[in-house]
Amino acid sequence: MKKVKFIQQLSDTSCGLACMAMILDYYGHEANLYELCCDFENSRDGLSIRDIKNIASYFGLDSKASEILNVKTFLGNKIVEPYIALTSNAHYIVVEKHNEHSVVFIDPEQGRITEDISNFANNISGIVIFFSPNRKFTKKKKHNNFFKILKIGKIDIKRLCYISLISILVQSLTLLLPLLTRFIIDNVISKGEMYHLGMLISVFSLIIFYALFSFIRTKLIIIVEKRYIFTLKDKIVGKIFTLPMKFFDSRSSGEIVTRINNLDSLEKIISSGISSLLIDLSTIIIAFIAMAMISLYFTLIITCFAIFLFIVLYFLLKKLEEKNSNFISSKELTQGYLMEIFSNLLFLKVSAKGDVSYTKWKEMFSNELKFDVERENYLNIFQTFISIYRLVPNLLILILGGLEVQQHMMSLGSLMSFLSLVSLLLSPITLIVQNCFQFQFCFTILDRVFDIIYTPEEKNQFSISKLPPFEMMTFRNLSFAYSSAYKVIYDISLTIKKGERIAIVGRTGCGKTTLIKLLLRLYDVEKNTILYNGNDINLFDLNSYRKSFGVVLQNDVMFNDTVISNIDLTHSHSMEDVISAASLAELDIEINNMPMGYYTSIGDNGNNLSGGQRQRLAIARAILQNPEIMIFDEGTGQLDTITEKKIMDNLKHKGITQIFITHRLSNAQEYDNIVVMDNGKIIDSGKHDELCGKEGMYKRLFETSYN
C-alpha cells in the first residue's frame, strides 16, 4: 500500500488543511500547505466537516462523512484508502491503515503514529470522512520553493557568477597538485634528477595565486550572504505588519519569532550552500576529466560508487523530512511558551504558579530535544556511512592500481596522482550530500516562512484617501462569524454621533470586543454594514481610517524605554504635544515627580509603573495621535472613579467621541448611551436611569458592579 506523506500543520488550527493536503498528495495532487491556507480561509476555530467536504469538491474529490457508532467494529473492517478522522479533542488526523490489533495514523502535529486499537477507539470521536477522485481531479507536481526564496531575497546573481568563475579557477589550481605529484614521481624522483629553479618558482606561484583567489572568493561570499539575508528579513518582517488579524488568531508570537530567527539558518544554507555547490560541482567536473585522462577503467569504478551514494541519499532524505518537521514544530511551541512565561512573569510569581509553568516548559523542551536527538542520530548514521564510503574506493583503487603498477600497466606516479584525485573528488561529493541534508532542513523552514510571505495582505482597495472630519458612525444590520460554524455578531444596528460618550456592556464573551475589532477593520465585513459619515468604511484608505481612532486596551503594550518614548512612539511630536497629552490623561504631575521626569525608564513592559500609571500612559499615547474617536476596551479598569471621570471630561472638552467597553459601571451616569449586548445581539440601549428603571440585564450588571 502507498504511504501517506506527512505534511505538518502551520498553525494551531490548520490541522484540517494539513490533512486535506496529505489526502490530495496521496492521490497525486501535490499541494503546498501555505497555498491552501491562502486559497481557503482557515479561521481561528479551524475547519468544519462542511469546509473539508467543500475543499475536497473543489479539487475533484468525492467525499462522504460518516458517524461510526461502534469504532472497534469499524476498525475490524478492511479499509484500503486513507481517510480523515476527528479525535475527541476536535483534532483532525489521517488514518493510513489499520488491522485487528493496531492503527497507523498521521497526526499533522506529531507525525506518523502507531497505536493500540483500544486506545485509538477511546480517543476518536467517531466522525470519519472518506475520499475518492472523480473526473474533475487532476494530478499536479509541487512547485520548487528553493528558487522562490532566492527570488524573494534577491540573491546577487552577478556576484554568484563571479564566485563560480573564481571557484573553478581555485579548484583548477588545487587539481594541479596531483598532476604535479605525478610529474615529480615519474620525471624527477624515479630518474634521480634535482629540483630546478623553475619548478620551485612554479610551486610558490601556485600557492600565492591560490591564496589570493581564495581570499577574493570568500569576500564575495560574505557580501552575497549579508545582502541576501538583509533583503529577505526586511521583506518578511515588513510583510508581517501588513497581514490581517485572522493570521495572528491561530499563530502565537513565539511561532512567528522562531520562523524569523530560522532565517539566520537559511543565510548559511542558501548563500553558502549555493556557492559551495558551485565550487564542488566545478571540482567534480575537473577531477573527473583529469581522472579519465589517467585511467578510464578506474574512473568508471568511482562513478558507480558515486551513483550508489546518491541512491542511498534519495531514500534517506524522504525519511529525514518528517524528522525535520517534528523538530522545527516542537521548537516553535517551546519558544512560544517561553515568551508567554516571560510576558506573564509577575502573575506567575504572585500566584506561586512559576513551578507549574517551569515544569510544562521542561516537558516541552524535553520533547524538542527528543526530536532533535532523533534527527541528529539519523544524520549520524549517514555520517558513519559517508566515512566508510570515503575509505572503500581509495582502498579498492590502491589494490587494483598496485596490481597494474606491478604488471607495468600504470606508472607509480599515475597511481599516486589518481589516488589524490579520488580524494579530491570524494570530498566535494560528500559535501554535496551534506548540503542536501541542509537543503532538506531549509525546505522544512521554507514552508513555514512562505506561510507568512504568501498570506494575502489586509484589503485596502480604497477610493477615498483623505478621511473627512468625523460626524457619525453607523452599524447597519451587521453580522459576523469567525468561521462558517456559527456567528458571533447578529444583526447589529447602532448609531454613534460626534462628541457622544457610549458604553457597550454585557457578559464576558457576548461580542463586545469583536464589535470594536470590526469597527477598526481588523476583520472584513460585508459592504455597507458599517458606515463612516454615511460612506462604507471599506472606501477609505486603511491607514488613514485607523489613525482617526485612539485605542486603549486593558493590558496595552509597554516598551523597555523612557516615559516619553512610550508616549511618542514615532518620535515625531514636540515636547509640548507630549506634555499636553499626558495632562489630558491626568499623568503629567506624576511624571514630573519621577526621578528623571519624562526620561525615566519604565522597565520591561512598564513594570516600574503602577497599573493605573500604565493605563494613563496608554491613554496619553492614544491622545497624542489626535484621534476623532477614543475606544477604551477595559482601558480604565485600573483607574479610580475620580481620575476616570476627569479623563472622560478632558476628552469631552476636546470634542472627542468616546466608546467604552466595560464591566465597571461606576461612572454610568456620564454616558450618553449605554448599549447592552448578549450572545452577539443588542438587547437593550438607553441612558443609565432609563435602563435601571427596567428589570433587565443592565440593571443586574449595575447592581452586581455597585455591590
Comparing CA positions, the residue from 52, 105, 59 lying closest to residue 79 is: 105
For 4-24, the pLDDT digits (tens) are: 888 888 887 888 899 999 999
For 553-567, the pLDDT digits (tens) are: 877 888 888 999 999
Residue ranges and CATH numbers for the domains of the chain are 15-133 (3.90.70.10), 156-453 (1.20.1560.10), 472-706 (3.40.50.300)
Kindly give the pairing relationship between strand 530-532 and strand 472-480. antiparallel
546, 520 Cβ separation under 8 angstroms: yes
pLDDT value of position 268: 65
pLDDT value of position 192: 54
For 309-319, the pLDDT digits (tens) are: 778 777 777 77
Of the pLDDT bands very low, low, confident and very high (cuts 50, 70, 90), residue 484 is low
For 354-380, the pLDDT digits (tens) are: 788 888 888 888 988 988 888 888 878
pLDDT value of position 465: 81
Comparing CA positions, the residue from 694, 701, 702, 695 lying closest to residue 678 is: 701
Please name the amino acid found at residue 89. Answer: N
pLDDT value of position 619: 93
Q: Which residue has the higher pLDDT, 199 or 538?
A: 538
For the record, the C-alpha cell of 264 comes out as: 539566520
pLDDT value of position 374: 84
Give how far the C-alpha of residue 567 lies from the chain's centroid of Cα atoms, to the nearest Å.
30
Give how far the C-alpha of residue 194 lies from the chain's centroid of Cα atoms, to the nearest Å.
66
Query: What CA dihedral angle connects 413, 419, 421 and 424, to 10 degrees?
Result: -140
Comparing CA positions, the residue from 611, 617, 571 lying closest to residue 591 is: 617
Poorest-pLDDT segment among 115-124, 162-171, 344-353, 399-408: 344-353
Of the pLDDT bands very low, low, confident and very high (cuts 50, 70, 90), residue 628 is very high
pLDDT value of position 11: 80
Angle at 506 between CA 504 and CA 510, to 5 degrees: 105
pTM: 0.74
Report whether pLDDT(606) > 70.
Answer: yes
Of the pLDDT bands very low, low, confident and very high (cuts 50, 70, 90), residue 509 is confident
Of the pLDDT bands very low, low, confident and very high (cuts 50, 70, 90), residue 170 is confident
Report whether pLDDT(195) > 60.
Answer: no
Kindly give the pairing relationship between strand 535-536 and strand 673-678. unpaired
Comparing CA positions, the residue from 80, 73, 50, 74 lying closest to residue 63 is: 50
Report whether pLDDT(235) > 80.
Answer: yes
Cα four-point dihedral sign 43, 46, 49, 52: positive
Report whether pLDDT(179) > 70.
Answer: no
Average pLDDT over residues 604-625: 89
Mean pLDDT, all residues of the chain: 83
pLDDT value of position 226: 81
For 263-279, the pLDDT digits (tens) are: 777 766 666 666 677 67
Comparing CA positions, the residue from 634, 629, 342 lying closest to residue 504 is: 634
309, 383 Cβ separation under 8 angstroms: no
Cα four-point dihedral sign 444, 448, 451, 454: negative
Alpha carbons 667 and 669: distance in angstroms, whole number: 6
494, 474 Cβ separation under 8 angstroms: yes
**Of 78-82, 157-161, 550-554, which one has max mean pLDDT?**
550-554
What DSSP character marks residue 534?
T
pLDDT value of position 605: 78
